[in-house]
Structure 1
Amino acid sequence: MKKFICIISAAVACIACESRTYEEISDNTPIAQVVTYNKDVKAIIDANCVSCHSPGPQALTNYSQVKGNINSIIDRISRANGDPQKMPQGGSLSPAQINIITKWKTDGLPEN
């Protein structure tokens, strides 16, 4: 009987200890509505980019600057962890945040 309980316990422990990556458990739901800078993108940029990209030639403090650099922004935020060119430095946006910024470009970069 002890052997049976140990086997069942071990089986339950193996099933319960499933390992999943952050990308697998993060919200990667497709975005149905139109993404706009003021409603969706600005808060992500302000929280993750402005501390380093303000002021100066690489500033990302307003709509025009972010819109003008969108291809570079998407390239840098989409790079693999460990890539020295990945942004934000020392961290990463969530897949949901990257999807918002990418969808904004797909939607034509609307401001409002």
Structure 2
Amino acid sequence: MKKCIYIISSAILLIACESRTYEEISDNTPVAENVTYNKDVKAIIDANCVSCHSPGVLALTNYTEVKNNIDNIIDRISRPNGDPLKMPQGGSLSPSQINIITKWKTDGLSEN
């Protein structure tokens, strides 16, 4: 009897588990408020891009550099996983971080 209960319990547990991808469980809610570089974008760039993109290598260390390269940035961060040109290398921004950067462009690339 114990063996039967164990098997049924295990089956229920396995059925209840589901596999979901990072994209499915991450916050992909559209950004409602106005996005600015200093308030929203700078922290994302500093944490994910500046370690490689410092002066001398497509620098992204300040507002002007990021603003002037926004189309390339959006292209590269939006590429599918496995694309050798996807940035940042070795990882990916979350969908919400990509939404923030994309909305910043849509909102007019405001600094403050």
TM superposition score normalised by structure 1: 0.90
Q: Which residue of 2 aligns with 1:51?
A: 51
Tell me which moved more, 81-90 or 13-22: 13-22
Offset at residue 6 of structure 1 (A)? 5.5
Structure 2 counterpart of 1:79: 79
Amino acid of the residue matched to residue 106 of structure 2?
A: T
CA distance in 1, matches of 2:6, 2:90: 44
Alignment of 1:70-109 (within 5 A): 70-109=70-109
Query: RMSD between aligned alpha carbons?
Result: 1.6
The 3-state SS of whatever aligns with 2:40 is helix
TM-fit CA distance, 1:57:
5.3
> Who is 1:17 aligned against?
17
Give the TM-score normalised by the residue count of structure 2: 0.90
Q: Which runs of 5+ in 1 are unaligned?
A: none
Q: Which residue of 2 aligns with 1:60?
A: 60
For 1:56, give the aligned amino acid. G
Instruction: State the partner residue of 1:69.
Output: 69
Give 1:100 deviation, angstroms. 0.5
Runs of 4 or more off by more than 3 Å in structure 1? 1-8
98-107 or 1-10, which moves further after superposition?
1-10
